[in-house]
Amino acid sequence: MASRRCLQRALSTTSFKNSVIWRSFGAVPQATTPSSSQELINSEYQYSAHNYHPIPVVFSQGKGSCIQDPEGNRYLDFLSAYSAVNQGHCHPKIMKALQEQAQRLTLSSRAFYNDRFPIFAEYLTSMFGYDMVLPMNTGAEAVETALKVARKWGHEKKKIPKDEDNGKVIASDMSLTQLIHTQAIIVSCCGCFHGRTLAVISMSCDNEATRGFGPLLPGHLKVDFGDAVGLEKVFKENGDRIAGFLFEPIQGEAGVIIPPDGYLKTVRDLCSKYNILMIADEIQSGLARSGKMLAVDWEEVRPDVVILGKALGGGVIPVSAVLADKDVMLCIRPGEHGSTFGGNPLASAVAVAALDVIRDEKLAERSAEMGQELRNQLVKIQQQFPNYIKEVRGRGLFNAVELNSKNLSPVSAYDICLQLKERGVLAKPTHDTIIRLTPPLSISLKEVQQGSKALSDVLGHDLPKMQKEKPENSSSTASNICDRCGRNLHDSTHNNH
Protein backbone atom coordinates (compact mmCIF):
# COMPACT_ATOMS: atom_id res chain seq x y z
CA MET A 1 0.00 0.00 0.00
CA ALA A 2 2.80 2.37 0.99
CA SER A 3 4.59 1.87 -2.31
CA ARG A 4 1.37 2.40 -4.24
CA ARG A 5 0.85 5.66 -2.39
CA CYS A 6 4.45 6.72 -3.21
CA LEU A 7 3.85 5.95 -6.85
CA GLN A 8 0.59 7.86 -6.77
CA ARG A 9 2.30 10.86 -5.17
CA ALA A 10 5.16 10.71 -7.65
CA LEU A 11 2.80 10.57 -10.57
CA SER A 12 0.76 13.47 -9.34
CA THR A 13 3.85 15.72 -9.01
CA THR A 14 5.58 14.89 -12.31
CA SER A 15 4.82 15.77 -15.86
CA PHE A 16 2.64 12.66 -15.97
CA LYS A 17 0.08 14.63 -14.04
CA ASN A 18 -3.20 14.92 -15.96
CA SER A 19 -1.94 12.58 -18.67
CA VAL A 20 -1.78 9.27 -16.80
CA ILE A 21 -4.77 7.44 -15.42
CA TRP A 22 -3.45 5.51 -12.43
CA ARG A 23 -5.31 2.42 -11.44
CA SER A 24 -4.48 -0.25 -8.95
CA PHE A 25 -5.59 -3.80 -9.39
CA GLY A 26 -3.73 -5.14 -6.35
CA ALA A 27 -5.25 -6.77 -3.29
CA VAL A 28 -5.52 -4.65 -0.14
CA PRO A 29 -2.22 -5.33 1.72
CA GLN A 30 -2.84 -6.81 5.17
CA ALA A 31 -0.03 -4.90 6.86
CA THR A 32 -1.76 -1.54 6.49
CA THR A 33 -5.36 -2.66 6.87
CA PRO A 34 -6.80 -0.41 9.58
CA SER A 35 -8.06 -2.31 12.59
CA SER A 36 -8.54 0.02 15.55
CA SER A 37 -11.66 2.16 15.74
CA GLN A 38 -9.69 5.35 15.21
CA GLU A 39 -7.81 3.95 12.21
CA LEU A 40 -11.04 2.76 10.65
CA ILE A 41 -12.71 6.12 11.21
CA ASN A 42 -9.70 7.93 9.70
CA SER A 43 -9.64 5.57 6.74
CA GLU A 44 -13.35 5.99 6.04
CA TYR A 45 -12.94 9.75 6.26
CA GLN A 46 -10.11 9.65 3.77
CA TYR A 47 -11.59 7.26 1.21
CA SER A 48 -15.33 7.67 1.49
CA ALA A 49 -17.56 10.57 0.55
CA HIS A 50 -18.40 12.73 3.56
CA ASN A 51 -22.16 12.33 3.22
CA TYR A 52 -22.83 11.39 6.85
CA HIS A 53 -21.91 12.85 10.22
CA PRO A 54 -21.58 9.65 12.25
CA ILE A 55 -21.24 9.23 15.99
CA PRO A 56 -17.63 8.01 16.30
CA VAL A 57 -18.19 4.36 17.15
CA VAL A 58 -17.26 1.44 14.93
CA PHE A 59 -19.62 -1.52 14.73
CA SER A 60 -17.67 -4.72 14.53
CA GLN A 61 -20.08 -7.34 15.91
CA GLY A 62 -23.76 -7.32 16.75
CA LYS A 63 -26.22 -9.58 18.50
CA GLY A 64 -29.76 -8.60 19.40
CA SER A 65 -29.59 -5.07 20.82
CA CYS A 66 -25.85 -5.24 21.53
CA ILE A 67 -22.98 -3.94 19.49
CA GLN A 68 -19.29 -4.48 20.01
CA ASP A 69 -16.52 -2.30 18.61
CA PRO A 70 -13.08 -3.59 17.49
CA GLU A 71 -11.66 -2.92 20.97
CA GLY A 72 -14.36 -5.09 22.54
CA ASN A 73 -16.38 -2.22 24.04
CA ARG A 74 -20.08 -3.05 24.21
CA TYR A 75 -22.98 -0.74 23.46
CA LEU A 76 -26.76 -0.85 23.38
CA ASP A 77 -28.11 0.08 19.98
CA PHE A 78 -30.93 2.63 20.35
CA LEU A 79 -31.13 3.44 16.64
CA SER A 80 -31.42 0.00 14.98
CA ALA A 81 -30.04 1.33 11.68
CA TYR A 82 -33.01 3.69 11.39
CA SER A 83 -35.40 0.77 12.11
CA ALA A 84 -33.84 -1.63 9.60
CA VAL A 85 -32.82 -3.91 12.48
CA ASN A 86 -36.23 -4.33 14.13
CA GLN A 87 -35.57 -8.06 14.58
CA GLY A 88 -32.22 -7.39 16.35
CA HIS A 89 -28.72 -7.74 14.96
CA CYS A 90 -27.81 -11.02 13.27
CA HIS A 91 -30.99 -12.83 14.20
CA PRO A 92 -30.14 -16.57 14.00
CA LYS A 93 -33.21 -17.49 11.90
CA ILE A 94 -32.55 -14.72 9.41
CA MET A 95 -28.84 -15.59 9.24
CA LYS A 96 -29.74 -19.22 8.61
CA ALA A 97 -32.03 -18.27 5.73
CA LEU A 98 -29.32 -16.02 4.32
CA GLN A 99 -26.63 -18.69 4.51
CA GLU A 100 -28.77 -21.48 3.10
CA GLN A 101 -30.03 -19.40 0.21
CA ALA A 102 -26.56 -17.95 -0.49
CA GLN A 103 -25.31 -21.45 -1.11
CA ARG A 104 -28.12 -22.30 -3.54
CA LEU A 105 -28.83 -19.25 -5.67
CA THR A 106 -28.53 -15.51 -5.20
CA LEU A 107 -29.66 -13.80 -8.38
CA SER A 108 -31.74 -14.62 -11.41
CA SER A 109 -32.79 -11.11 -12.46
CA ARG A 110 -36.41 -11.00 -13.44
CA ALA A 111 -35.51 -11.77 -17.01
CA PHE A 112 -36.24 -15.28 -15.64
CA TYR A 113 -38.25 -16.68 -12.76
CA ASN A 114 -36.72 -17.92 -9.52
CA ASP A 115 -38.11 -20.31 -6.95
CA ARG A 116 -38.05 -17.89 -3.97
CA PHE A 117 -39.71 -14.68 -5.12
CA PRO A 118 -43.21 -16.14 -5.68
CA ILE A 119 -43.17 -17.49 -2.11
CA PHE A 120 -42.14 -14.11 -0.73
CA ALA A 121 -44.73 -12.32 -2.90
CA GLU A 122 -47.57 -14.55 -1.73
CA TYR A 123 -46.51 -14.32 1.91
CA LEU A 124 -46.15 -10.53 1.93
CA THR A 125 -49.38 -9.81 0.06
CA SER A 126 -51.43 -12.16 2.22
CA MET A 127 -49.86 -10.83 5.43
CA PHE A 128 -50.85 -7.25 4.54
CA GLY A 129 -53.99 -7.99 2.52
CA TYR A 130 -53.07 -6.61 -0.91
CA ASP A 131 -53.36 -8.27 -4.31
CA MET A 132 -49.83 -7.65 -5.52
CA VAL A 133 -46.31 -6.58 -4.70
CA LEU A 134 -43.68 -4.79 -6.75
CA PRO A 135 -40.28 -5.69 -5.26
CA MET A 136 -37.38 -3.25 -5.08
CA ASN A 137 -34.27 -2.92 -2.92
CA THR A 138 -33.84 0.36 -1.04
CA GLY A 139 -36.55 2.45 0.51
CA ALA A 140 -36.05 5.41 -1.82
CA GLU A 141 -36.43 3.16 -4.84
CA ALA A 142 -39.69 1.81 -3.48
CA VAL A 143 -40.97 5.35 -2.92
CA GLU A 144 -39.98 6.25 -6.51
CA THR A 145 -41.81 3.14 -7.63
CA ALA A 146 -44.95 4.10 -5.72
CA LEU A 147 -44.86 7.57 -7.27
CA LYS A 148 -44.53 6.10 -10.75
CA VAL A 149 -47.34 3.64 -10.09
CA ALA A 150 -49.52 6.51 -8.82
CA ARG A 151 -48.79 8.69 -11.84
CA LYS A 152 -49.46 5.80 -14.21
CA TRP A 153 -52.73 5.08 -12.43
CA GLY A 154 -53.55 8.79 -12.47
CA HIS A 155 -53.19 9.00 -16.23
CA GLU A 156 -54.74 5.65 -17.08
CA LYS A 157 -57.54 5.24 -14.58
CA LYS A 158 -58.26 8.73 -13.31
CA LYS A 159 -57.69 10.18 -16.79
CA ILE A 160 -55.45 13.01 -15.65
CA PRO A 161 -54.26 14.54 -18.92
CA LYS A 162 -50.80 13.33 -19.91
CA ASP A 163 -47.97 15.83 -19.59
CA GLU A 164 -47.46 17.07 -23.12
CA ASP A 165 -44.04 18.46 -22.25
CA ASN A 166 -42.86 15.05 -21.16
CA GLY A 167 -39.20 14.73 -22.06
CA LYS A 168 -38.88 18.26 -23.42
CA VAL A 169 -36.83 20.93 -21.73
CA ILE A 170 -39.22 23.12 -19.80
CA ALA A 171 -38.84 26.84 -20.49
CA SER A 172 -37.11 28.61 -17.65
CA ASP A 173 -39.82 31.25 -17.42
CA MET A 174 -42.59 28.69 -16.93
CA SER A 175 -44.16 29.39 -13.59
CA LEU A 176 -44.81 26.79 -10.91
CA THR A 177 -48.54 27.23 -11.39
CA GLN A 178 -48.22 26.36 -15.06
CA LEU A 179 -46.02 23.42 -14.25
CA ILE A 180 -48.41 21.90 -11.79
CA HIS A 181 -51.17 22.15 -14.36
CA THR A 182 -49.28 19.79 -16.63
CA GLN A 183 -48.68 16.96 -14.19
CA ALA A 184 -50.26 14.12 -12.31
CA ILE A 185 -49.51 15.79 -9.00
CA ILE A 186 -48.21 14.09 -5.89
CA VAL A 187 -49.11 15.77 -2.62
CA SER A 188 -46.71 15.26 0.27
CA CYS A 189 -46.24 16.63 3.78
CA CYS A 190 -44.02 19.32 5.18
CA GLY A 191 -41.20 17.75 7.13
CA CYS A 192 -41.51 14.46 5.27
CA PHE A 193 -38.58 12.17 4.59
CA HIS A 194 -38.86 9.57 1.86
CA GLY A 195 -35.23 9.04 0.83
CA ARG A 196 -32.56 10.66 -1.27
CA THR A 197 -33.35 10.26 -4.95
CA LEU A 198 -34.11 13.30 -7.05
CA ALA A 199 -37.89 12.82 -7.24
CA VAL A 200 -38.00 12.17 -3.54
CA ILE A 201 -35.87 15.12 -2.44
CA SER A 202 -38.02 17.30 -4.67
CA MET A 203 -40.67 16.90 -1.97
CA SER A 204 -38.29 17.45 0.89
CA CYS A 205 -38.41 20.34 3.35
CA ASP A 206 -34.85 19.70 4.45
CA ASN A 207 -32.59 22.37 2.98
CA GLU A 208 -29.52 20.23 3.48
CA ALA A 209 -31.09 17.50 1.37
CA THR A 210 -32.03 19.81 -1.49
CA ARG A 211 -29.67 22.78 -1.73
CA GLY A 212 -27.27 22.47 -4.63
CA PHE A 213 -29.13 19.57 -6.27
CA GLY A 214 -31.48 21.58 -8.45
CA PRO A 215 -33.35 21.63 -10.67
CA LEU A 216 -35.77 19.64 -8.58
CA LEU A 217 -38.64 17.79 -10.21
CA PRO A 218 -41.99 19.51 -10.67
CA GLY A 219 -45.41 18.05 -10.00
CA HIS A 220 -45.51 18.20 -6.21
CA LEU A 221 -47.66 20.09 -3.76
CA LYS A 222 -47.15 20.29 -0.02
CA VAL A 223 -49.45 20.34 2.97
CA ASP A 224 -48.81 20.46 6.71
CA PHE A 225 -48.56 17.02 8.27
CA GLY A 226 -51.59 16.34 10.46
CA ASP A 227 -53.64 19.18 8.94
CA ALA A 228 -56.74 17.52 7.46
CA VAL A 229 -58.38 20.88 6.71
CA GLY A 230 -55.36 22.00 4.67
CA LEU A 231 -55.33 18.66 2.88
CA GLU A 232 -58.96 18.96 1.85
CA LYS A 233 -58.32 22.50 0.58
CA VAL A 234 -55.50 21.24 -1.67
CA PHE A 235 -57.63 18.32 -2.84
CA LYS A 236 -60.57 20.62 -3.55
CA GLU A 237 -58.50 23.09 -5.55
CA ASN A 238 -56.43 20.58 -7.53
CA GLY A 239 -58.14 17.24 -6.99
CA ASP A 240 -58.76 16.40 -10.63
CA ARG A 241 -55.00 16.55 -11.27
CA ILE A 242 -53.75 14.87 -8.10
CA ALA A 243 -52.68 11.25 -8.46
CA GLY A 244 -51.57 10.46 -4.95
CA PHE A 245 -51.07 11.65 -1.40
CA LEU A 246 -47.76 10.33 -0.08
CA PHE A 247 -47.18 10.47 3.66
CA GLU A 248 -45.53 8.78 6.62
CA PRO A 249 -48.20 7.76 9.16
CA ILE A 250 -45.64 8.74 11.80
CA GLN A 251 -42.92 11.07 10.54
CA GLY A 252 -39.61 9.48 11.49
CA GLU A 253 -36.78 11.71 10.37
CA ALA A 254 -38.77 14.82 11.30
CA GLY A 255 -38.51 13.59 14.89
CA VAL A 256 -41.16 10.92 15.43
CA ILE A 257 -44.08 13.25 14.81
CA ILE A 258 -47.43 11.63 15.54
CA PRO A 259 -50.48 13.07 13.77
CA PRO A 260 -53.58 14.07 15.75
CA ASP A 261 -56.11 11.33 16.49
CA GLY A 262 -58.46 10.77 13.60
CA TYR A 263 -56.06 12.17 10.98
CA LEU A 264 -55.41 8.84 9.27
CA LYS A 265 -59.12 8.10 9.01
CA THR A 266 -59.79 11.55 7.57
CA VAL A 267 -56.97 11.10 5.05
CA ARG A 268 -58.59 7.84 3.99
CA ASP A 269 -61.99 9.51 3.58
CA LEU A 270 -60.56 12.46 1.65
CA CYS A 271 -58.53 10.24 -0.67
CA SER A 272 -61.64 8.19 -1.42
CA LYS A 273 -63.81 11.30 -1.88
CA TYR A 274 -61.42 12.92 -4.37
CA ASN A 275 -60.27 9.68 -6.03
CA ILE A 276 -56.66 10.14 -4.97
CA LEU A 277 -54.37 7.26 -4.05
CA MET A 278 -53.54 7.14 -0.35
CA ILE A 279 -49.87 6.13 -0.30
CA ALA A 280 -48.46 5.24 3.12
CA ASP A 281 -44.69 5.20 3.40
CA GLU A 282 -44.27 2.63 6.17
CA ILE A 283 -40.58 2.11 5.49
CA GLN A 284 -39.63 3.29 8.96
CA SER A 285 -42.94 3.19 10.84
CA GLY A 286 -44.04 -0.24 9.60
CA LEU A 287 -43.15 -3.84 10.37
CA ALA A 288 -44.01 -3.62 14.06
CA ARG A 289 -41.93 -0.54 14.87
CA SER A 290 -44.85 1.51 16.22
CA GLY A 291 -46.44 -1.35 18.18
CA LYS A 292 -48.66 -2.44 15.26
CA MET A 293 -47.70 -4.22 12.06
CA LEU A 294 -48.31 -0.95 10.22
CA ALA A 295 -48.64 2.48 11.81
CA VAL A 296 -51.90 3.00 9.85
CA ASP A 297 -53.31 0.10 11.92
CA TRP A 298 -53.56 2.55 14.83
CA GLU A 299 -56.67 3.90 13.10
CA GLU A 300 -57.50 0.73 11.20
CA VAL A 301 -57.32 2.32 7.80
CA ARG A 302 -56.29 0.63 4.59
CA PRO A 303 -54.16 2.78 2.26
CA ASP A 304 -54.32 2.15 -1.50
CA VAL A 305 -50.56 1.75 -1.62
CA VAL A 306 -48.20 0.69 1.16
CA ILE A 307 -44.42 1.04 0.90
CA LEU A 308 -42.19 -1.20 3.00
CA GLY A 309 -38.41 -1.41 3.31
CA LYS A 310 -35.72 -1.44 5.99
CA ALA A 311 -36.74 -4.28 8.38
CA LEU A 312 -38.14 -6.24 5.44
CA GLY A 313 -34.51 -7.15 4.82
CA GLY A 314 -34.11 -8.27 8.44
CA GLY A 315 -31.18 -5.89 8.90
CA VAL A 316 -29.22 -8.02 6.48
CA ILE A 317 -29.77 -6.91 2.90
CA PRO A 318 -31.82 -4.16 1.28
CA VAL A 319 -35.33 -5.36 0.47
CA SER A 320 -38.22 -3.02 -0.26
CA ALA A 321 -41.68 -3.46 -1.66
CA VAL A 322 -44.72 -1.60 -2.92
CA LEU A 323 -48.09 -3.19 -2.15
CA ALA A 324 -51.30 -2.39 -4.00
CA ASP A 325 -54.36 -4.03 -5.51
CA LYS A 326 -54.56 -5.11 -9.15
CA ASP A 327 -56.54 -2.07 -10.24
CA VAL A 328 -53.52 0.07 -9.36
CA MET A 329 -50.57 -2.28 -9.79
CA LEU A 330 -51.50 -3.58 -13.22
CA CYS A 331 -51.17 -0.05 -14.61
CA ILE A 332 -47.47 -0.99 -14.79
CA ARG A 333 -46.82 -3.31 -17.72
CA PRO A 334 -43.80 -5.39 -18.72
CA GLY A 335 -40.81 -3.22 -19.52
CA GLU A 336 -42.17 -0.08 -17.88
CA HIS A 337 -40.41 -0.40 -14.53
CA GLY A 338 -38.01 -2.76 -12.82
CA SER A 339 -34.81 -3.43 -10.94
CA THR A 340 -32.06 -5.98 -11.60
CA PHE A 341 -31.93 -7.02 -7.96
CA GLY A 342 -35.62 -6.50 -7.07
CA GLY A 343 -37.18 -9.83 -6.06
CA ASN A 344 -33.87 -11.68 -6.12
CA PRO A 345 -33.90 -15.10 -4.46
CA LEU A 346 -31.49 -14.16 -1.69
CA ALA A 347 -33.53 -11.08 -0.75
CA SER A 348 -36.76 -13.07 -1.02
CA ALA A 349 -35.53 -15.83 1.29
CA VAL A 350 -34.23 -13.29 3.81
CA ALA A 351 -37.48 -11.29 3.67
CA VAL A 352 -39.58 -14.40 4.35
CA ALA A 353 -37.41 -15.15 7.40
CA ALA A 354 -37.57 -11.49 8.49
CA LEU A 355 -41.39 -11.58 8.36
CA ASP A 356 -41.48 -14.96 10.13
CA VAL A 357 -39.48 -13.51 13.00
CA ILE A 358 -41.76 -10.47 13.32
CA ARG A 359 -44.83 -12.74 13.36
CA ASP A 360 -43.48 -15.63 15.48
CA GLU A 361 -41.84 -13.44 18.12
CA LYS A 362 -44.89 -11.16 18.26
CA LEU A 363 -42.66 -8.15 17.75
CA ALA A 364 -45.58 -5.74 17.32
CA GLU A 365 -46.93 -6.62 20.76
CA ARG A 366 -43.44 -6.55 22.19
CA SER A 367 -42.80 -3.13 20.69
CA ALA A 368 -46.05 -1.82 22.21
CA GLU A 369 -45.16 -3.19 25.64
CA MET A 370 -41.49 -2.21 25.76
CA GLY A 371 -42.27 1.13 24.13
CA GLN A 372 -44.72 1.98 26.90
CA GLU A 373 -42.09 0.98 29.44
CA LEU A 374 -39.47 3.17 27.76
CA ARG A 375 -41.83 6.16 27.58
CA ASN A 376 -42.77 5.77 31.25
CA GLN A 377 -39.12 6.01 32.15
CA LEU A 378 -38.47 8.90 29.78
CA VAL A 379 -41.40 10.82 31.24
CA LYS A 380 -39.88 10.33 34.72
CA ILE A 381 -36.60 11.72 33.39
CA GLN A 382 -38.50 14.65 31.91
CA GLN A 383 -40.10 15.31 35.30
CA GLN A 384 -36.62 15.26 36.82
CA PHE A 385 -35.19 17.60 34.16
CA PRO A 386 -38.13 19.70 32.89
CA ASN A 387 -35.75 22.43 31.74
CA TYR A 388 -33.89 20.13 29.41
CA ILE A 389 -36.65 17.90 28.03
CA LYS A 390 -39.44 19.64 26.19
CA GLU A 391 -41.38 16.58 25.11
CA VAL A 392 -41.36 12.79 25.15
CA ARG A 393 -43.40 11.20 22.39
CA GLY A 394 -43.80 7.99 20.50
CA ARG A 395 -45.73 4.85 19.75
CA GLY A 396 -44.37 1.41 20.52
CA LEU A 397 -40.59 1.53 20.30
CA PHE A 398 -40.73 4.48 17.89
CA ASN A 399 -39.85 7.27 20.33
CA ALA A 400 -38.19 10.64 20.55
CA VAL A 401 -37.09 13.04 23.21
CA GLU A 402 -37.22 16.68 22.18
CA LEU A 403 -34.70 18.78 24.03
CA ASN A 404 -34.95 22.41 24.95
CA SER A 405 -32.08 23.88 22.97
CA LYS A 406 -32.02 27.18 24.91
CA ASN A 407 -31.48 25.50 28.26
CA LEU A 408 -29.07 23.00 26.76
CA SER A 409 -26.94 25.62 25.00
CA PRO A 410 -24.13 25.57 24.03
CA VAL A 411 -24.49 21.78 24.18
CA SER A 412 -26.39 20.19 21.28
CA ALA A 413 -28.42 17.01 20.88
CA TYR A 414 -25.43 15.63 18.99
CA ASP A 415 -23.19 16.28 22.04
CA ILE A 416 -25.74 14.49 24.22
CA CYS A 417 -25.53 11.50 21.87
CA LEU A 418 -21.73 11.58 22.07
CA GLN A 419 -22.00 11.43 25.83
CA LEU A 420 -24.63 8.68 25.69
CA LYS A 421 -22.10 6.70 23.70
CA GLU A 422 -19.58 7.17 26.53
CA ARG A 423 -22.22 5.61 28.77
CA GLY A 424 -22.73 2.70 26.41
CA VAL A 425 -25.85 3.75 24.53
CA LEU A 426 -25.97 4.56 20.83
CA ALA A 427 -28.55 7.07 19.64
CA LYS A 428 -28.55 9.67 16.90
CA PRO A 429 -30.07 13.12 16.88
CA THR A 430 -32.48 14.13 14.18
CA HIS A 431 -32.31 17.84 13.46
CA ASP A 432 -30.76 19.98 16.17
CA THR A 433 -32.82 19.14 19.23
CA ILE A 434 -34.42 15.71 18.88
CA ILE A 435 -33.01 12.35 19.91
CA ARG A 436 -34.76 9.36 18.40
CA LEU A 437 -34.86 6.29 20.64
CA THR A 438 -35.68 3.26 18.49
CA PRO A 439 -33.95 0.12 19.78
CA PRO A 440 -34.45 -3.31 18.20
CA LEU A 441 -37.92 -4.64 19.03
CA SER A 442 -36.36 -7.66 20.70
CA ILE A 443 -34.85 -5.42 23.41
CA SER A 444 -35.23 -6.68 26.99
CA LEU A 445 -36.71 -4.75 29.88
CA LYS A 446 -33.28 -4.60 31.52
CA GLU A 447 -31.80 -3.06 28.38
CA VAL A 448 -34.62 -0.51 28.19
CA GLN A 449 -33.82 0.45 31.78
CA GLN A 450 -30.09 0.68 31.00
CA GLY A 451 -30.85 2.96 28.06
CA SER A 452 -33.01 5.36 30.01
CA LYS A 453 -30.61 5.38 32.96
CA ALA A 454 -27.82 6.44 30.60
CA LEU A 455 -29.92 9.42 29.44
CA SER A 456 -30.72 10.35 33.01
CA ASP A 457 -27.03 10.14 33.95
CA VAL A 458 -25.96 12.28 31.00
CA LEU A 459 -28.50 15.00 31.88
CA GLY A 460 -27.86 14.80 35.62
CA HIS A 461 -24.12 14.23 35.86
CA ASP A 462 -22.46 15.09 32.54
CA LEU A 463 -24.42 17.99 31.13
CA PRO A 464 -23.41 20.72 33.63
CA LYS A 465 -19.74 19.88 32.99
CA MET A 466 -20.29 19.77 29.23
CA GLN A 467 -21.97 23.19 29.33
CA LYS A 468 -19.01 24.65 31.22
CA GLU A 469 -16.46 23.13 28.87
CA LYS A 470 -18.05 23.95 25.52
CA PRO A 471 -17.36 27.43 24.10
CA GLU A 472 -20.45 29.65 24.23
CA ASN A 473 -20.68 30.44 20.53
CA SER A 474 -20.19 26.91 19.27
CA SER A 475 -23.80 25.77 19.04
CA SER A 476 -25.48 25.64 15.65
CA THR A 477 -27.45 28.66 14.61
CA ALA A 478 -28.54 27.20 11.29
CA SER A 479 -32.00 28.26 10.21
CA ASN A 480 -34.68 25.61 9.94
CA ILE A 481 -36.78 27.65 7.56
CA CYS A 482 -37.59 25.49 4.56
CA ASP A 483 -36.45 26.99 1.24
CA ARG A 484 -39.62 25.82 -0.46
CA CYS A 485 -42.53 26.16 1.92
CA GLY A 486 -41.06 28.78 4.23
CA ARG A 487 -42.04 26.97 7.42
CA ASN A 488 -39.87 26.53 10.48
CA LEU A 489 -40.05 22.79 10.39
CA HIS A 490 -38.40 21.62 13.51
CA ASP A 491 -40.08 23.98 15.85
CA SER A 492 -42.62 21.69 17.48
CA THR A 493 -45.14 24.52 17.83
CA HIS A 494 -45.68 24.10 14.09
CA ASN A 495 -46.59 20.47 14.39
CA ASN A 496 -50.22 19.72 14.90
CA HIS A 497 -50.06 17.55 17.94
Ligand X SMILES: Cc1ncc(COP(=O)(O)O)c(C=O)c1O
Kindly list the residues in this chain that would bind ligand X in the complex (CB under 6 A).
82, 138-140, 143, 193-195, 248, 252-253, 281, 283-284, 309
Q: What are the beta bridge partners of residue 389?
A: 403
* Closest separation in Å from C-beta 82 to ligand X: 5
* Closest separation in Å from C-beta 343 to ligand X: 16
Q: Nearer Cβ to ligand X, position 257 or 443?
A: 257
Q: Nearer Cβ to ligand X, position 246 or 413?
A: 246
Catalytic residue numbers read: 193, 281, 310
| Nearest CA among 196, 197, 198, 200 for reference residue 186 | 200
Query: What's the rounded Cα separation, in Å, for the pair 69 and 424?
Result: 11
Contact 86, 288 (CB under 8 A): yes
Using Cβ positions, the residue closest to ligand X within the complex turns out to be 139
Q: Nearer Cβ to ligand X, position 145 or 382?
A: 145
Q: Nearer Cβ to ligand X, position 87 or 405?
A: 87
| Nearest CA among 282, 290, 353 for reference residue 321 | 282
In 181-325, which residue ranges form alpha helices assigned H by DSSP?
A: 198-201, 207-210, 228-238, 263-273
Q: Nearer Cβ to ligand X, position 197 or 407?
A: 197
Contact 202, 216 (CB under 8 A): yes
* Closest separation in Å from C-beta 13 to ligand X: 40
* Dihedral of the alpha carbons of 247, 248, 251, 252, in degrees to the nearest 10: -130
Query: What's the rounded Cα separation, in Å, for the pair 151 and 87?
Result: 34
* Strands (E) located in 170-319: 185-189, 220-223, 242-247, 277-281, 305-308
* Closest separation in Å from C-beta 318 to ligand X: 6
Burial letters 49-83, b for 16+ CB under 10 A, else e: eeeeeebebbbeebebbbbbbbeeeebbbbbbbbb
* Closest separation in Å from C-beta 445 to ligand X: 27
Q: Nearer Cβ to ligand X, position 278 or 411?
A: 278
* Closest separation in Å from C-beta 418 to ligand X: 22
* Closest separation in Å from C-beta 483 to ligand X: 21
Element at 357 (helix H, strand E): helix 345-360
Q: Nearer Cβ to ligand X, position 399 or 419?
A: 399
Query: What's the rounded Cα separation, in Å, for the pair 216 and 262?
Result: 33
Contact 249, 295 (CB under 8 A): yes
* Closest separation in Å from C-beta 8 to ligand X: 33
Q: What angle do CA 413, 418, 423 make, to 5 degrees?
A: 120
Residues in contact with 289: Cβ distance below 8 Å, sequence separation at least 6, in sequence order: 83, 86, 295, 311, 367, 396, 397, 398, 438, 441
* Closest separation in Å from C-beta 199 to ligand X: 12
Q: Nearer Cβ to ligand X, position 194 or 366?
A: 194
Q: Nearer Cβ to ligand X, position 78 or 82?
A: 82
Contact 328, 148 (CB under 8 A): no
Pairing type for strands 66-68 and 61-63 reads antiparallel
Query: What's the rounded Cα separation, in Å, for the pair 372 and 397?
Result: 8
| Nearest CA among 297, 316, 306 for reference residue 354 | 316
| Nearest CA among 398, 245, 218 for reference residue 307 | 245
